[in-house]
């Protein structure tokens, strides 16, 4: 695993933050050429000290452009504005399920190798790629360098985070001899089949076809191995369930901390039962679970109980809605292949009508 060298600069983030305050002129709001933009100049200095050619860095940053639409999009993510039934409908359609079946068939060998090597079920890997980019068919329309430069120097609260991502992106494209203005991605700078942010690309991308290059932009084999490696590195437990169906009162009961995305399961099964949540009988009272309550229509609530592997999925995207979409798409793909998703335990017979 390649180390994330960009993280070694944490001690200088305060200096970069000060430099961002200097980048407030109309000219700086339109471009990030180092001769005009103090923050970009300091980042170039930093990366040049690490061995990247200064002239290359200056050309790369000179190609970046400010994009107001990127800042606008950051406040409108679907995970923050949709109910579960609305969010689910985006990802659980027949086209995405059939596409997953076809993608698994076309890449049968790398999927089988990834599951054998990393212990992550094929359908989970496929569902991540299906949710993120429809199996590589929609990888983003924003120039990554524009998105990251805009967010690095103009986001009101997360500038430091995106400066690290911008630095990591420049390291990646320089290392792989890709023009800095070529890669397209999401408004937040996520790239390729799996929509890795640059620091994740550096840390978890693998050369799964052994061609000497870790290519997540155009190579589905590397993408499959890299998603599996990401989950393995974040503690995926092979053979364990992901999430259980539960039941409960008409509205989520008080005193239960639902939807603790990206936090390990902490609620005792016995305490959930005491609060009125119907937990499967075979789960021990002392077992730790991640309780999820999602609204399907006005006032209609569904309950799920995440295990450790559900928590691992939320490390990929911190939304509990995202994790549920992944596991339900994975189950739908498995079912369409004529297989039983024995590792999932996500949807029971009562949910048949809701299935696509």
> Would you give the distance in Å from CA 180 to the centre of its chain?
22
Task: Please state, rounded to an integer, the average pLDDT across all residues of the chain.
Answer: 89
Question: How many CA atoms lie less than 13 Å away from 327 in the CB half-sphere?
Answer: 27
Q: Which domain holds residue 61?
A: 5-72+140-231
- Size of the chain, expressed as the number of residues it contains: 356
Backbone angles phi, psi at 48, to 5 degrees: -65, -35
Task: Tell me which DSSP letter residue 156 carries.
Answer: S
- The answer to whether residue 163 sits within a structural domain is yes
pLDDT tens digit sequence for 245-280? 999 999 999 999 999 988 999 999 999 999 999 999
Looking at the domain assignment, is residue 105 inside a domain?
A: no
Q: Name every residue whose Cβ is closer than 8 Å to that of residue 8 and which is 6 or more positions away in sequence.
A: none
Asked if the model's pLDDT at residue 121 lies above 90, the reply is: yes
Residue 50: its pLDDT value, please?
Answer: 95
Dig out the tokens for 248 from the structure. 């409960």
**178 lies in a domain?**
yes
CB atoms within 10 A of CB 111: 24
Tell me the per-residue pLDDT of 55-74, one tens digit each, with 9 for 90 and over.
999 999 999 999 999 999 98
Q: Rounded to whole angstroms, how far apart are CA atoms 28 and 32? A: 6
pLDDT of 188 higher than 80: yes
> 327 lies in a domain?
no
Q: What is the structure's pLDDT at 261?
A: 85
Contact 237, 343 (CB under 8 A): no
* The pLDDT value given to residue 80: 67
Q: Domain with 159 in it: what CATH number?
A: 1.10.8.350
| 139-178 pLDDT tens trace | 999 999 999 999 999 999 999 999 999 999 999 999 999 9
Cα 309 from Cα 177, distance rounded (Å): 36
Q: Could you tell me if 49 and 130 are in contact, meaning their C-beta atoms sit under 8 angstroms apart? A: no
Residue showing tokens 């509205």: 251
What does the DSSP 8-state code read for residue 31?
B
Q: What is the spatial distance between Cα 279 and Cα 298, in angstroms, rounded to a whole number?
A: 24
Is residue 127 packed enough to be buried (19+ CB in 10 Å), middle (13-18) or exposed (0-12)?
A: buried
Phi, psi angles (nearest 5°) of residue 201: -55, -50
Helix (H, G, I), strand (E, B) or coil at 65: strand
- Above 80 in pLDDT, residue 356? no
pLDDT of residue 268: 97
Sequence-distant (6+) residues with CB within 8 A of 228 are 114, 115, 117, 118, 120, 125
- The residue behind tokens 């399907």 is 296
The question of whether 132 is a catalytic residue gets the answer yes
Classify burial at 165, counting beta carbons within 10 Å of its beta carbon; exposed 0-12, middle 13-18, buried 19 or more.
buried
Per-residue model confidence as pLDDT tens digits over 210-234: 999 999 999 999 999 999 999 999 9
- What's the confidence (pLDDT) of residue 77? 67
Evaluate whether 184 touches 143 at the Cβ level (below 8 Å).
yes
* Residue 204 domain flag: yes
Per the structure, how many domains does the chain have?
Answer: 1
Residue 326 within a domain: no
Residue 295, exposed/middle/buried by CB under 10 A (0-12, 13-18, 19+)? middle
- The gap between the terminal CA atoms of the chain, to the nearest Å, is 38
Per-residue pLDDT at 190 exceeds 80 = yes
Binned at pLDDT 50, 70 and 90, residue 75 comes out as confident
Q: Output the six-digit token pair for 103.
A: 């993608």
46, 123, 132, 171: the catalytic one is 132
**Residue 35 located in a structural domain:** yes
Residue 65 lies in a domain: yes
CB 149 within 8 A of CB 66: yes
Higher pLDDT, 110 or 24: 110
């Amino acid at each position: 695993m390649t180390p994330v060298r960009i993280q070694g600069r944490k001690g200088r983030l305060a200096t970069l933050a000060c430099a961002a305050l200097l980048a407030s002129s109309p000219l700086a709001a339109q471009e990030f050429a180092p001769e005009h933009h103090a923050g970009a100049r300091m980042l170039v200095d930093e990366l040049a000290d690490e061995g990247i050619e200064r002239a290359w860095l200056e050309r790369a940053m000179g190609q970046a452009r400010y994009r107001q639409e990127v800042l606008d999009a950051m406040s409108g993510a679907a995970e923050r504005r949709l109910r579960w039934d609305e969010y689910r409908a985006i990802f659980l359609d027949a086209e995405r399920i059939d596409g997953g079946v076809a993608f698994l068939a076309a890449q049968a060998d790398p999927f089988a190798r990834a599951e054998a090597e990393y212990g992550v079920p094929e359908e989970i890997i496929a569902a991540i790629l299906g949710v993120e980019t429809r199996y590589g068919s929609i990888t983003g329309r924003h120039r990554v360098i524009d998105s990251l430069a805009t967010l690095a120097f103009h986001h009101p609260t997360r500038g430091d985070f995106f400066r690290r991502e911008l630095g990591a992106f420049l390291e990646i494209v320089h290392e792989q001899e890709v023009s800095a203005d070529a890669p397209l991605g999401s408004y937040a700078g996520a790239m390729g089949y799996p929509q890795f942010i640059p620091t994740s690309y550096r840390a978890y991308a693998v050369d799964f076809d052994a061609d000497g290059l870790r290519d997540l932009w155009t190579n589905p084999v590397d993408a499959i191995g890299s998603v599996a490696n990401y989950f393995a590195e974040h503690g995926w437990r092979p053979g364990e369930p992901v999430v259980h169906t539960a039941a409960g009162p008409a509205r989520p009961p008080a005193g239960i901390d639902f939807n603790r995305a990206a936090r390990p399961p902490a609620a005792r099964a016995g305490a959930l039962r005491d609060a009125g949540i119907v937990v499967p009988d075979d789960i021990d009272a002392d077992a730790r679970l991640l309780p999820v309550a999602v609204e399907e229509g006005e006032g209609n609530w569904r309950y799920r109980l995440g295990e450790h592997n559900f928590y691992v999925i939320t490390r990929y995207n911190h939304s509990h809605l995202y994790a549920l979409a992944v596991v339900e798409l994975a189950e739908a793909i498995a079912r369409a292949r004529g297989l039983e998703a024995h590792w999932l335990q996500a949807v029971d017979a009562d949910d048949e009508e809701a299935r696509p």
